[in-house]
Chains A and B, each alone.
Chain A
């Protein structure tokens, strides 16, 4: 644990695999930059790996004021213990006030381990981050300039703002696509600090025997049109309707967590707080009631069509076009109308 350090930087962990930076880390930098400006401190980016020195400059172009670069052969592949040790040491040396991680599989493996070692708080899957003040109780002390960690809460349509006012750094993870990708600026200048790494192979409990890379089956973030199905679609067979409409529109099929848990479609298609956040030109919600966790992932779509047989479904209040009816009738009619246009 480190104390409250008002001069501490705002940090982002820049995840990379095989020399390629993950989008989530870069996206986080745009938000972190805003937070750093509000706090009047620098944006620090932590980069860990092997043979990654050239990425330091890339991160400066994306907005880093300082890049902490840990380059060592034993850091070539992500490993919980080695990465935790490097970042834990860095946190204790430089005492950042905020540390942000992408909520990727790696980020969700690493951030809690570091938080535990540091005895600091960590909020998972934030959908927004802001700077604000908090008063502990009516007459309690006012804590200024805290990180507001905003996330949909347990049950119901509730948004919780979480804070950590004493055991720093303030740590949070953010899902892919929640923040906008910054535009690189080749004229930017920043400082790159190379970190001395002391690691021994026999201290690491893990050995990677085989690795198989397989890209996601669908790139929802890049799709202009998304047709998403929920539990209301009813069955895997019936989910064919969602695929057919997506194909007719040249879009991608998405799904709610409930539909995925029911086995209607692969997890790569999940839209929402714990899936991908999307902002397509058109989002068609088929048989989706609209839990807040799902809304968090699609509410910024330019146009939303909601098809539901329940006139009380929350998703309808987000929709530009509300269609109250049986999806088994409505979706085939839509496919027909789309095909007719030519």
Chain B
């Protein structure tokens, strides 16, 4: 945690959010069946380049890392604003996201992006049934069973973990893209490989390495907030209406508690006690 109660993301590994893998799988299946191109957009620290590389291994055509210090401390509203600015650049027919992230579990960024993109939304998609003309048909969980709905395109779908079994990285694709890097990753690696070099030299070496990767089609796109034409007023801390008032460690209140011997006698006497006090009818 940072002092202001926001999460210190630099201290955490950048992982592929599980339900986002289901969303990627659905995107690749759509491409296989109906054609099109799969682009993966992620926002995070430079380390999130790993997620884009994994997407390429699994079958994505392209990836973009949106990374910018000014995006730090974004809540779901600011995050959805930044992501939607990046997504707009591609003018997609379908946007797929995982239903929710495993850290906050809020399930808010998908619908918030859909609103900002002016798209219809279908949340909790369990199956993509058809895609034709200008609409997508899908089955979604409602909490009381399911619905089959048809939504006009462009549309945003959030995908649940039961929708499919995400494919593993393809061997050929892994070989092809294992050296793909974002410029930010190239900078980190160049610095590590040239300890003691001055800033100017590092900058030059990084640029050379990036150009080499670019020539091979292995330089992953990296955009900052200016490149996606984001209005800074809606980004990062300023763009986030929710703030942390306080963080408390939970002090567990010791209840009147008994240690019970795990043997037959101990268990039997506990059950007897619960029958006597009518906890067990």
Q: Mark A138-178, 1 if CB is under 8 A from B, else 0.
A: 00000000101100011111111111111100000000000
Q: Is B111 in contact with A116, judged by CB distance below 8 angstroms?
A: yes
Could you tell me the distance between the alpha carbons of A108 and B250 in the complex, rounded to whole angstroms? 27
B39 interface hit (Cβ, 8 Å): no
Q: Is A340 in contact with B268, judged by CB distance below 8 angstroms?
A: yes
B247 to chain A, nearest CB (A): 5
Which A295-342 residues sit within 8 Å CB-CB of chain B? 295, 302-305, 314, 317-326, 329-330, 333-334, 336-338, 340-341
Which B231-260 residues sit within 8 Å CB-CB of chain A? 234, 240-250, 252, 254-260
From DSSP, what is the main secondary structure of chain B's interface residues? mixed
A-B contact pairs, 17 of them (CB 8 A): A108-B111, A112-B106, A124-B106, A154-B104, A160-B244, A206-B122, A211-B146, A249-B280, A305-B260, A317-B252, A317-B257, A318-B255, A320-B256, A321-B257, A324-B262, A333-B262, A341-B275
Q: Is B274 in contact with A303, judged by CB distance below 8 angstroms?
A: yes
Which A112-152 residues sit within 8 Å CB-CB of chain B? 112-113, 115-117, 119-125, 132, 134, 136, 146, 148-149
Interface size class on chain B is 35 or more
Assuming the contacts A121-B75, A158-B248, A322-B259, asked whether A208 and B111 have C-beta atoms less than 8 A apart, the reply is no
Q: Which segment, of A52-60, A66-74, A212-220, faces chain B?
A: A212-220
B235 to chain A, nearest CB (A): 13
Residues of A within 8 A of B267 (CB): 323, 330, 333-334, 337
Chain B contact residues, CB within 8 Å of chain A: 1, 5, 7, 75-77, 80, 103-112, 114-116, 119-124, 137, 141-152, 155, 234, 240-250, 252, 254-260, 262-264, 266-268, 270-272, 274-275, 279-281
Q: Is A159 in contact with B151, judged by CB distance below 8 angstroms?
A: no
Q: Is A105 in contact with B143, judged by CB distance below 8 angstroms?
A: yes
Least CB separation from B119: chain A residue: A205
**Most chain A beta-carbon contacts within 10 A, residue among B77, B155, B241, B256:** B241
Residues of A within 8 A of B259 (CB): 322-324
A114 to chain B, nearest CB (A): 8
Q: Mark A265-301, 1 if CB is under 8 A from B, else 0.
A: 0000000011000000110000000001001000000
Q: Is B112 in contact with A282, judged by CB distance below 8 angstroms?
A: no
Q: Is B143 in contact with A104, judged by CB distance below 8 angstroms?
A: yes
Could you tell me the distance between the alpha carbons of A120 and B77 in the complex, rounded to whole angstroms? 8
Residues of B within 8 A of A322 (CB): 257-260
Least CB separation from A204: chain B residue: B120
Question: Contact partner of A209 among B77, B149, B240, CB < 8 A?
Answer: B149
Q: Is A337 in contact with B271, judged by CB distance below 8 angstroms?
A: yes
